[in-house]
C-alpha cells in the first residue's frame, strides 16, 4: 500500500500556476522544458513527502485440505498428553478445562470438571469465563482438531498459556476403558 507522509499536497497544485507565470512561449522547445520542470518538481515533492511502499512480510499460507491446516497449526501450538492432564487433575492444579465440542456432544459425556464453550463461540465467550489472559487453559474436542484450531485462535487473542489435549475426547475415553 502506498503511504504518504506529507501534510499538504497544495504545493503540487501550485507548480502549474508558477510555471505558467514564467511567461514561457509555447513553442515546441519550451513545452518540452516545461514538462521536464513539472516532472522534476513532482518527483521532488514525492521524494520529500517520504512516499514509500509497505510490503506485508508475512505470507499467507494456503492449505489443500482441513487436515493439512490442522497439521500445520499443531506445529504452532502446545499440546498436552492425556497423562499430563490426568496428573494436573490429580494434583488439583489451577487450570481451566474447556470442551469446545457442541452442546449435544458435551451432554453425551465429557471429561470431569470441563466447562463447555463450543468452538464457534469460544472467542466471543472466553472473556466472560476468565479474568485475564494468563491462566492456564486446556482445550479439547472429539479428536484434537477443533481444539488445535481453537488453541491457535486464543493465542492470537493474547492468551499466553493455552494447550490442546492430544487425542481429545476419543483419547480420553479409550484411556478410561
| C-alpha pair distances (Å), 96 with each of 85, 121, 131, 155 | 11, 17, 12, 15
Place of cell 494447550: 163
Instruction: Centre a 10 Å sphere on the Cβ of residue 153 and count the other Cβ atoms it contains.
Output: 19
The whole-angstrom separation of Cα 136 and Cα 161 is 5
Catalytic residue among 77, 85, 141, 152: 141
DSSP codes joined into one string, 59-114: PPP--SSHHHHHHHHHHHSEEE-HHHHHHHHHTT-S-EEEE-S-HHHHHH---TT-
Task: Please confirm, yes or no, whether 141 is among the known catalytic residues.
Answer: yes
Task: Dig out the grid coordinates for 65 from the structure.
Answer: 485440505
Residues 96, 130: contact at Cβ < 8 Å? yes
| Catalytic residue set | 141
Amino acid at each position: 500500500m502506498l503511504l504518504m507522509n506529507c501534510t499538504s499536497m497544495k504545493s503540487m497544485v501550485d507548480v502549474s500556476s508558477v510555471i505558467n507565470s514564467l511567461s514561457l512561449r509555447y513553442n515546441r522547445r519550451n513545452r518540452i522544458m516545461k514538462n521536464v520542470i513539472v516532472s522534476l518538481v513532482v518527483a521532488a515533492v514525492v521524494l520529500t513527502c517520504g512516499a514509500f511502499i509497505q510490503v506485508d512480510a508475512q505470507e499467507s499460507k494456503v492449505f489443500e485440505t482441513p487436515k493439512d491446516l490442522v497439521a500445520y497449526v499443531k506445529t504452532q501450538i502446545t499440546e498436552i498428553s492425556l497423562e499430563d492432564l490426568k496428573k494436573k487433575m490429580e494434583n488439583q492444579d489451577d487450570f481451566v478445562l474447556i470442551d469446545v465440542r457442541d452442546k449435544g456432544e458435551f451432554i453425551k459425556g465429557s471429561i470431569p470438571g470441563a466447562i463447555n464453550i463450543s468452538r464457534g463461540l469460544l472467542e466471543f465467550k472466553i472473556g466472560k469465563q476468565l479474568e485475564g489472559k494468563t491462566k492456564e487453559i486446556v482445550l479439547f474436542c472429539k479428536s484434537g482438531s477443533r481444539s488445535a484450531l481453537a488453541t491457535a485462535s486464543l493465542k492470537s487473542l493474547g492468551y499466553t498459556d493455552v494447550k490442546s489435549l492430544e487425542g481429545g475426547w476419543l483419547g480420553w475415553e479409550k484411556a478410561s476403558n
